[in-house]
Chain A
Amino acid sequence: MSFWNDPLKVAADWLLGVFTGWGMPELAANILIGFLGILILISLLMVLDIGLVWVERKVVARFQDRIGPNRLGPFGLIQPFADIIKLMIKEDITPAGADKVIYNIAPMLSMMSVLILWAVVPLAPAILGVDLNIGVLYIIAAGSIGTLSIIMAGWASNNKFALIGAFRQVAVMISFEVPMLATMLIPTILAGSMGTAAIVEKQDIWYVLLAPLGALIFLIAAIAELGRAPFDLAEGESELVSGYNIEYSGMKFGMFYAGELLHAFTFGGFWAILFFGGYRFFGLEKVSPFLAIAVILFKAFIGYWLIMWVRYTLLRIRIDHMLAFNWKFLTPLAFTLIMVTALMNALLAGAPAWLYIAGMFLSNIVVAWGALEIARFYSRRERERIEGKQVVAAGH
């Protein structure tokens, strides 16, 4: 077994030899190796996060017909590092009347809730933090900790705007968690497992072909969950001056900001894992784990880029519209989709592959078409009702 084929095992075996050579018991050595591996993974993620700051600024500049950072280093690549240094040496202000302990814990929890997600990201066939058989629910559980950190930050800041922002953000996050949970059921049904690794291994056909509507709903819910535009009303700069993190400065603000970017990237990755075959790309993953890692990172970047594209193209939606959109359209649609998927999956169980794919795909299209028709019917009726009133009013 060479390093090229299974780098993780080779490195772990070598380290195990070294540590047990020092007279360490095997269990302790294994835990220490795990600790080192996780430390390296998370450090790399933080470096990636710094890179994401640059990507985000460069991309938003392009969308807005600007150049973006271009002074420091080639293409402004050193700019984010300068930002980090600035955040490091800034004074850390705690507002008077803040609940100090909770105020300080919140940004740490926010960052942690994103980093622990990577425990269930399968990077390559054998390279995965932990192969949990409840991986999908673990994602939601980590998200719950993130929600909690936001409400803690908003409450502890002792600021009206922060509290209102936190409440709105939490209302949005929990609302959109329902369609997200529902669409996560679809890969679970199709793969017959909740483990992320198992879901990727079972995806001989990308699930986006079997559940295109599910993939779309997941992306929308993920964007809302991340609190990014068009669903960033918690930050509403014009009314809430950046929402729950208004009183945070220096590195604590940096934690919220970096956490948000990494969260978006991570959800790009989960989108790829659940619906786009994860690290699989026409057998490329079998050549080498390094190629598999490159594939999953590339797919995650595409997801991240899509999220950015949406963010910088659409306008912010008002909170009542947004919650109505979730509860009156997205949630019923997602649950209808689960029922249809479960039924079609059972009915087409023995069918040949082409019929199975065609049936699943078409059933999704039909559900989407039906939902849009119903929505169109009701919105037309609503519009006629309002316009009718106006006609009457004009007649007087």
Chain B
Amino acid sequence: MTGEQIVFLVVAFFTLAAGFMVVTTRNLVHAALWLVAALFGVAVTYVTLHANFLAVVQVVVYIGAIAILFIFAVMLTRRDMRDQGPQMNKNWWLGALLAVLTFGGLYFLLQGWEGMTKTATSYPVSFDAISELGSALVSPVGYVLPFEVASVLLVAALVGAVYVAFNPRNGDTRK
């Protein structure tokens, strides 16, 4: 077993364990922090894939912004720190069954595919992925439309979120 494989297995195991904690921990702030751990594991996975830019963006966007947003939301929607009641709904076993079936099904499908055991060609030494990514994003023959649409999507999300959550007319009806 080579060093790369050992690194991959350690990271994958860590990520899956953290992911499992995300979906089972009772305390929601802990769940959000476990999510950070899992996402960090995914960032390391990107590093093993030589996707430097994705790895850093993963940390900047997920850990720097999305995790913070989750923690803020958890604190905005709870009136005390204790978690009362069960965290799982009564059909949780059905969910578990479906998840196992999904994994089994995906595994079965992947196993029948000939590209499964493919190994990567060695990474080109002087290949500047970010520069290539830049030209792919903005060149007219590349992905310029998704690039601009992403901007529109995010602005739409901002406008929608601001409107939904904080419309003054939509205030607290219990008052």
Given the interface pairs A137-B57, A140-B60, A194-B130, the reply to whether A170 lies near B68 with Cβ below 8 Å is yes
Question: Across the interface, which residues of B come within 8 angstroms of A194, CB to CB?
Answer: 130
Question: Does B48 interact with chain A (Cβ within 8 Å)?
Answer: no
Q: Which residue of B lies closest to A31 (CB)?
A: B3
A220 to B103, CA, bound (A): 50
Chain B residues near A147: list those with CB within 8 A.
64, 68
Please name all residues of chain A whose beta carbon is closer than 8 Å to the beta carbon of B57 when the two chains form the complex: 137
Asked if A362 is at the interface of the complex by the 8 Å CB criterion, the answer is no
Report which residue of A137, A144, A145 has the largest number of chain B beta carbons within 10 angstroms of its beta carbon: A144
Decide yes or no: A144 and B52 within 8 Å by CB, A133-B130, A134-B130 being known contacts.
no
For A158, give the chain B residue with the smallest CB separation.
Answer: B81
Indicate with 1 or 0, residue by residue over B128-139, a CB within 8 angstroms of chain A CB atoms: 111000000000
Known: A151-B68, A151-B71, A170-B68. A144 touches B59 (CB 8 A): yes
Residues 297-336 of chain A: 1 if any B CB is under 8 Å from the residue's CB, otherwise 0?
A: 0000000000000000000000000000000000000000
Q: How far is the CA of A171 from the CA of B71 in the complex (A)?
A: 12
Q: How far is the CB of A179 from chain B (nearest CB, A)?
A: 15
**Residue A152, interface by CB 8 Å:** yes
Question: Quick check: is B29 within 8 A (CB to CB) of the other chain?
Answer: yes
Per-residue CB contact flags for chain A residues 245-272 toward chain B (1 = under 8 Å, else 0) read 0000000000000000000000000000
Given the interface pairs A102-B33, A133-B128, A133-B130, the reply to whether A148 lies near B68 with Cβ below 8 Å is: yes
Give the nearest-CB partner of A141 in chain B: B59
Cross-chain contact B64 with A140 (CB below 8 angstroms)? yes
Chain B 2-57 residues near chain A, CB threshold 8 A: 3, 29-30, 33, 36, 52-53, 56-57
Contact (A144, B130) CB under 8 Å given A133-B52, A138-B56? no
Contact A174 B68 (CB under 8 A): yes
For the complex, what is the distance from the CA of A194 to the CA of B134, rounded to whole Å? 12
Q: Which residues of B contact A145 (CB under 8 A)?
A: 59, 63
B36 CB contact (under 8 Å) in A141, A148, A155, A177: A148
| B63–A144 touching, CB < 8 Å | yes
Q: Please, which residues of chain A bring their CB within 8 A of the CB of B129?
A: 133
Inter-chain contacts of A174 with B (CB < 8 A) = 64-65, 68
Within B55-78, the residues touching A (CB, 8 Å) are 56-57, 59-60, 63-65, 67-68, 71-72, 75
Q: Which residue of A lies closest to B43 (CB)?
A: A141
**Which residue of the partner chain, among B30, B60, B72, B75, contacts A141 with CB atoms under 8 Å?**
B60
A143 to B60, CA, bound (A): 9
Q: Is the interface of A mostly helix, strand, loop or mixed?
A: helix
In contact, A137 and B68 (Cβ under 8 angstroms): no
Chain B residues whose CB sits within 8 angstroms of the CB of A134 once the complex forms: 52-53, 56, 130
- Are B29 and A155 closer than 8 Å at their CB atoms? yes
- Select from chain A the residue with minimum beta-carbon distance to B58: A141
Residues of B within 8 A of A143 (CB): 64
A143 to B64, CA, bound (A): 8
A127 at the interface (CB under 8 A from B): no
CB-based nearest A residue for B128: A133
Name which of B33, B57, B65, B75 has the most chain A CB atoms within 10 A of its CB: B33
Query: How many Å from the CB of A133 to the closest CB on chain B?
Result: 6
Q: Which single residue of chain B is at the shortest CB-CB distance from A194? A: B130
A132 at the interface (CB under 8 A from B): yes
Contact pattern, A 138-182, Cβ under 8 Å of B = 1, otherwise 0: 101101110110011001000000000001001000100100000
The residues of B that contact A132 with a CB separation of less than 8 Å are 52
A144 cross-chain contacts in B, Cβ below 8 A: 59-60, 63-65
Contacts of A102 on B, CB cut-off 8 Å? Answer: 30, 33
Q: Which residues of B contact A148 (CB under 8 A)?
A: 36, 63-64, 67-68
* CB–CB B33/A152 < 8 A: yes
Smallest CB separation, A95 vs chain B (Å): 14
Spell out A's residues near B (CB within 8 Å): 27, 102, 132-134, 137-138, 140-141, 143-145, 147-148, 151-152, 155, 167, 170, 174, 177, 194
Chain B residues engaging chain A, CB cutoff 8 angstroms: 3, 29-30, 33, 36, 52-53, 56-57, 59-60, 63-65, 67-68, 71-72, 75, 128-130
Known: A133-B130, A148-B68, A174-B64. 9 other contacts (CB 8 A): A102-B30, A102-B33, A133-B129, A137-B53, A137-B56, A140-B60, A140-B64, A141-B60, A148-B63
Q: What are 10 A-B contacts with C-beta separation under 8 Å? A: A102-B33, A133-B52, A134-B130, A141-B63, A144-B59, A144-B60, A145-B59, A147-B64, A148-B67, A167-B75
